[in-house]
Amino acid sequence: MTYGTVEPFFHQGGFVRVVQKFGGSSVADAESIKRVAKRIVDTKEQGNEVTVVVSAMGDTTDELLDLAQRVSPKPRSRELDMLLSAGERMSAALLAMAINDLGHTARSFTGSQAGVITTAKHGDARIIDITPGRIETALGDGDIVIVAGFQGVSQSTKDVTTLGRGASDTTAVALASALKADYCEIYSDVDGVFTADPRVVPGAQQIPEIAFEEMMELAANGAKILHLRCVEYARRENVPVHVRSSFSDKPGTWLKDASDIKKKESGMENPIITGVAQDKALAKVTVVDVPDRPGEAAQVLETVAGAGINIDTITQNQSVSDDTTAITFTVPQGDLTKALDALAAARESIGFSKTLSDDSVGKVSIVGVGMRTTPGVAATFFKALADADVNIQLISTSEIRISVVIAEGDVDKAVRAAHTAFGLDGSDAAVVYAGTGR
């Protein structure tokens, strides 16, 4: 099966207002910043109004985190946000300088200056409002606007906040929505969204158009290309998003409402599965001999959630004897010790006997709206896994997704097996330009 080509985004009449976001690998050094500046100026010279959101250069955010660690093992989160937000301020200012040298006026703004208002939770603040007055004024003056991504200001404390790792994507979509932009372009180091990670599946194909809900499932289940909250935001506000590479001029992947995605002409088959996602960094916990009565599962899960840990893929075994059961779930690998400690501390009050754990499991998910109307998808998936000699430990599903938890060492081969089984393999090897897909 191959995908057809998509028509480029077509705007009826007048100028287009666009928000472009450039990730860290697109602005990693002085040369890259000048290259991106050129690209932004080209968009402007085509007659468009351009607002740019930029990430910190290369690995700056990680380097700042390391630096903080060396100064103070447990820095206050308020100060950490002051530090981390500086990364995006640097790239925003540098990008504005490079644009000014190309004969256009660019003005850089911090998140706070750009009107990004957030909750007060440092390191993981949510955008609650955008008051883009200064951006509107600058655009009205004919300037190019550069906004430091990943940051805002708390409405209640007036402190600088950051929005969580990878959240410049979310800044971009939120601004596109607030500015009523025609669309939002997210530039990274890959050509778009692929049917699987091209680093794992050489025959992975670029997807020309994908439904918001499919992209949400992929992002929530390990696809790194877009920040999950960015996709949620785009879906809620119906912002068309174009994910593309800053290293080429090729059209990328459009995220749209499912109803706006053109079906193939009749007679041609639409793919049942749109993509395969993987997440290797998971651990599995089983809580044994949990009393089988109402409220016990809630207590177990509350204990883990109370330690600030995200729980996924929960299953409860049918009681073997009359009075106890076992509850199994997955957590991020890095949170396993914390989860086990929290459970150990609550063991007596909950009344279970012990916990079992496995720190090296992974999850493979197949995603596609075609699943709704096609029977037998799970059977095809599980048969492909069986043929690849992959043992399934847990299964979870949504209306448009089937996930399996398996041994971490089996993840790559399971992804390849599923990709082939659903006819997604293409003949051209995908291009990976640089870095991490950020």
Interface residues toward ligand ASP, by CB under 6 A: 23-24, 55-56, 61, 87, 149-150, 165-168, 438
Nearer to ligand ASP, 83 or 385 (CB): 83
Closer of 87 and 166 to Mg ion (Cβ):
166
Minimum separation from the CB atom of position 330 to Mg ion (A): 23
Q: How far is the CB of 165 from ligand ASP (least distance, A)?
A: 4
Structure tokens belonging to residue 410: 């089996």
Tokens of 205: 């194909």
DSSP H or E stretch at residue 107:
strand 106-109
Q: Indicate which of ligand ASP, Mg ion, none lies near residue 149 (CB less than 5 to 8 Å, by partner kind).
A: ligand ASP
User: From Mg ion, ligand ASP, none, which one binds at residue 56 (CB under 5 to 8 Å depending on kind)?
Assistant: ligand ASP
Which residue's CB is nearer to Mg ion, number 169 or number 217? 169
The DSSP bridge partners found for residue 127 are 118
Q: Please classify residue 121 by burial: count the beta carbons closer than 10 Å to its beta carbon, then call 0-12 exposed, 13-18 middle and 19+ buried.
A: middle
Q: Which stretch binds Mg ion (CB under 5 A): 160-168, 236-244, 255-263, 286-294?
A: 160-168
Of 115 and 149, CB closest to ligand ASP = 149
Minimum CB–partner distance for residue 141 and ligand ASP (Å)? 28
**Which of Mg ion, ligand ASP, none is residue 278 near (CB under 5 to 8 Å by kind)?**
none
Among 149, 166, 192, 222, binds Mg ion (CB under 5 A): 166
Q: How far is the CB of 438 from Mg ion (least distance, A)?
A: 4
165 contacts which partner out of ligand ASP, Mg ion, none, CB within 5 to 8 A by kind? ligand ASP
- CA-CA-CA-CA torsion for 130, 134, 136, 137, nearest 10 degrees? 170
Beta carbons within 8 Å of 270's beta carbon, 6+ residues apart = 263, 264, 370
Residue 247 marked in a binding site = no
170 binds, among Mg ion, ligand ASP, none (CB under 5 to 8 A by kind): none
Q: Which among ligand ASP, Mg ion, none contacts residue 110 (Cβ within 5 to 8 A by kind)?
A: none
Q: Where are the alpha helices (DSSP H) in 179-328?
A: 212-220, 228-237, 296-306
Encoding tokens for residue 400? 């448009």
d(CA 44, CA 103): 11
Distance of CA 432 to the CA centre of its chain: 18
199 is in an annotated binding site: yes
Q: Whose Cβ is closer to Mg ion: residue 235's or residue 438's?
A: 438
Q: Is 376 annotated as a binding residue?
A: no
Which of the residues 399 through 438 are near Mg ion (CB under 5 A)?
438
- Element containing residue 275 per DSSP (H, E): strand 275-291
Number of Cβ atoms within 10 Å of the Cβ of 72: 11
Name the closest residue to Mg ion (Cβ).
438
Provide the β-strand partners of residue 329: 285
Query: Quick one: 351 or 435, whose CB is closer to ligand ASP?
Result: 435
CB of 62: closest distance to ligand ASP in angstroms?
7
- Tokens representing residue 118 in the block: 């957030």
Contact 353, 409 (CB under 8 A): no
Task: State how far the Cα of 197 lies from the Cα of 280, in Å rounded to an integer.
Answer: 12
Which does residue 150 bind out of ligand ASP, Mg ion, none, counting CB within 5 to 8 angstroms by kind? Answer: ligand ASP
Beta carbon nearer to ligand ASP, 21 or 419: 21
Angle subtended at Cα 107 by Cα 101 and Cα 110, rounded to the nearest 5 degrees: 130
* Residue type at 34 in one-letter notation: K
Strands 17-22 and 49-54: parallel
Neighbours of 396 (CB within 10 A): 17
User: Rg for the chain (alpha carbons), in Å?
Assistant: 23
| Residue 88 labelled as part of a binding site | yes
Closest to ligand ASP by CB, 23 or 426: 23
Catalog residues that contact Mg ion under the rule CB under 5 A.
166, 438
Binding residues for substrate: 61, 88
Binding residues: 21-24, 61, 88, 199
Binding residues for ATP: 21-24, 199
